[in-house]
Structure 1
Amino acid sequence: MEQKGECHGAGLNTIKYTREEDVAGERGQHQTGQKRHFVGVLRLPGTVNQTCSSPATTSAATMSGMVVKNMSFKAGQTMTIIGKPKPDATNFAINVGPNDKDVTMHINPRFNAHGDENTVVCNSYQEGKWCEEHRGEGGFPFQQGEEFKITIGFTPDQFQITLSDGSQILFPNRMGAEKYSFISIDGDVRITSFEIK
């Protein structure tokens, strides 16, 4: 199922989106014409006065960080993020989890941060503490000030992260869930496109 929409305005603050799923009939049979609607919110920096309508695909040159709550990212779906690190970027992070307190997949490209240079570090944050880091897998195709694309998919066992140069990082799905509803992107990066389908 593809989730799409658009947003109008120079800066972004809150984007509402909706998505539909077919309602199954008895014994899993499809009931024609019946839909179940879901609503979520993207919270982004920017101006407050916007006119936005139902995106889960969003594109905006002004996004420098974002939080997505109550969104359905399910096993088998693909999340695609396109962005550009700032010219003087030290690092940025993409976090996926069930809520804002636990992170099952943290991917942190580091240009020069936390004692690392040109390294991608992956980890999880559970019950108030970081778990064991995975680092250096998949190369480092990121350049300060240049566009990148990251594609993320997952199963109950692992995340598969594909970087701009086609290299891949496999990271364990430590919580083992089949659905996550919290996604955040922060650090020295400007996001230009975000899509789940």
Structure 2
Amino acid sequence: MSKDKMEIHHMDLKSGMTLKLKGKINDNAHGFTINLGQSPENLDLHFNPRFGENVIVCNSQNGGSWEQEHRDDHICFSPGNEIKLAVTFGEDEFQVKLPDGHQVKFPNRRKCSHLPYCCVEGGFSLTSFKMD
């Protein structure tokens, strides 16, 4: 798996906003990760499509400890695809809109209203990053 990594430590994503990501999944990718949160050890949303398992795993991390994961078997993209994802950051939950319109929902467990940290890594080459 490629070790591409894009990290932002002073992002200004507030509750009610949507983060739009566009890019290409590497041809040899086993998966990729989008992390949103307070810091690398305090993640409010860990979004991790795993192609080998044909599943999308979502989780949160508190002080470096993983919490209970949520698994969604609706995976509508694969290595080599160019995709767009939209992550809507809500007061109660995150909604990740997949390329085919399906939404993966994950609770905003700590009820955060501001996310300064974002990291996109693994087999995903980011071409566009936009906050609305």
Please report the TM-score for the alignment, with normalisation by the length of structure 2: 0.93
Which residue is 1:98 aligned to? 38
What is residue 70 of structure 1 aligned with on the other side? Answer: 10
Structure 1: runs of 5 or more not aligned: 1-63
Distance, in Å, in 1 between the alignment partners of 2:40 and 2:81 is 29
State the AA in 2 paired with 1:131: E
What TM-score, normalized by structure 1, do the two folds share?
A: 0.63
Aligned to 1:4: none
Tell me the percent identity.
Answer: 37
Q: 1:186 is aligned with what amino acid?
A: E
- RMSD across aligned positions (CA): 1.0
Aligned partners of 1:65, 1:165: CA distance in 2, in Å? Answer: 25
Q: What is the DSSP-based 3-state SS (H/G/I as helix, E as strand, rest coil) of the residue aligned with 2:41? A: coil
Q: Give the 5 Å matches for 1:13-162.
A: 64-112=4-52, 117-136=53-72, 139-162=74-97
Q: Distance in 2 between matches of 1:99 and 1:167?
A: 28
Q: Select the structure with the greater relative contact order (CA < 8 A; seq sep ≥ 6).
A: 2
Aligned AA (1:145): G
Q: Cα distance, 1:65 vs. partner?
A: 2.1
**Contact between 1:65 and 1:191, CA under 8 Å: does it hold in 2?**
no
1:100 positional shift: 2.3
Question: What runs of 5+ residues in structure 2 fail to find an aligned partner?
Answer: none
Alpha-carbon distance in 1 for matches of 2:123, 2:79: 9
Q: How many aligned positions are there?
A: 129
Which stretches of structure 1, 4 residues or more, deviate above 2 A after TM superposition? none
